């Protein structure tokens, strides 16, 4: 079975994307990843209020990971490789509808809403998030980009995240994959994640250690807008 990953590509801000211009039909080759990988850990943050916006995100009707089948099959290979090392995957986000991306853009332009600043962007102003971290279009909307980390079993048999030197969705230079200084342990974990993803076709995004995109992109010119459900 052939497997591979894709890097999230964030485009410069040039204005909101009309939902009518996004493809609202779910393709037949999009897969619910939990059906083929029932043992990976799911923490789909945008279906909850536990995210940088502070509310559930538009378009996430279920806490599911949907991926285009080539990327999903590649993820199976990643999982298999890690399982041989006693490790597992924890997934934060997969396919992201365009309406969710538009929700992010509305949030970032509301400079009065800084409820989550201390947790998610303590060293940046909101306007500094546009472009590198938040944009009007996202590779996630193509169905072949994924946000995830590594987990290992603790002494109680529970999956725990490995130390990556910083949390998911922290908008800060600390999240850059090659950030320095970084503890030797955290740097090693980031490199392990990057290496195993690359081995199965996923490219990393150097500003976010958790972000990977399958290459080549199966729908390079399309941003889908069907809900996650």
Query: What CATH number is given to the structural domain containing 137?
Result: 3.30.1380.10
pLDDT digits (tens, 9 = 90+) for 31-47: 999 999 999 999 999 99
Active site residue 208: yes
Residue 9 within a domain = no
pTM: 0.89
Other Cβ atoms within 10 Å of 4 Cβ, number: 24
Tell me the two tokens of residue 110.
Answer: 């509301």
Place of tokens 């490199």: 191
pLDDT, residue 155, reads 96
Residue 229 within a domain = no
pLDDT digits (tens, 9 = 90+) for 64-95: 999 999 999 999 999 999 999 999 999 999 99
Residue 114 within a domain = yes
Distance of CA 27 to the CA centre of its chain: 20
Selecting among 119, 136, 208, 229, the annotated active-site residue is 208
Is 24's pLDDT higher than 90?
no
Host domain of residue 94: 19-214
How far is 106 from 17, CA to CA, in rounded Å? 12
């Amino acid at each position: 079975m052939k497997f591979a990953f894709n890097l999230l590509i964030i485009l410069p801000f040039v204005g909101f994307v009309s939902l009518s211009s996004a493809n609202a039909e779910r393709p037949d080759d999009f897969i619910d990843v939990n059906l083929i990988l029932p043992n990976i850990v799911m923490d789909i943050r945008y279906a909850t209020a536990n995210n940088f916006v502070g509310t559930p995100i538009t378009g996430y009707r279920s806490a599911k990971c949907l991926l285009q089948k080539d990327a999903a099959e590649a993820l199976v290979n990643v999982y298999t490789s890690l399982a041989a090392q006693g490790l597992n995957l924890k997934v934060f986000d997969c396919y992201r509808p365009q309406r969710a991306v538009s929700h992010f853009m509305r949030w970032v332009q509301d400079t009065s809403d800084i409820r989550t600043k201390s947790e998610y962007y303590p060293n940046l102003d909101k306007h500094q998030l546009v472009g590198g971290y938040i944009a009007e279009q996202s590779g996630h909307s193509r169905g072949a980009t994924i946000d995830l980390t590594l987990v290992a079993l603790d002494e109680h048999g529970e999956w725990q995240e490995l130390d990556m030197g910083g949390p998911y969705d922290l908008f800060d230079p600390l999240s850059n994959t090659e950030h320095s200084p970084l503890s030797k342990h955290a740097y090693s974990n980031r490199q392990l994640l990057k290496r195993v993803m690359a081995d199965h076709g996923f490219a990393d995004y150097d500003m976010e250690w958790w972000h990977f995109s399958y290459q080549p992109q199966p729908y390079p010119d399309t941003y889908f807008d069907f809900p996650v459900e």
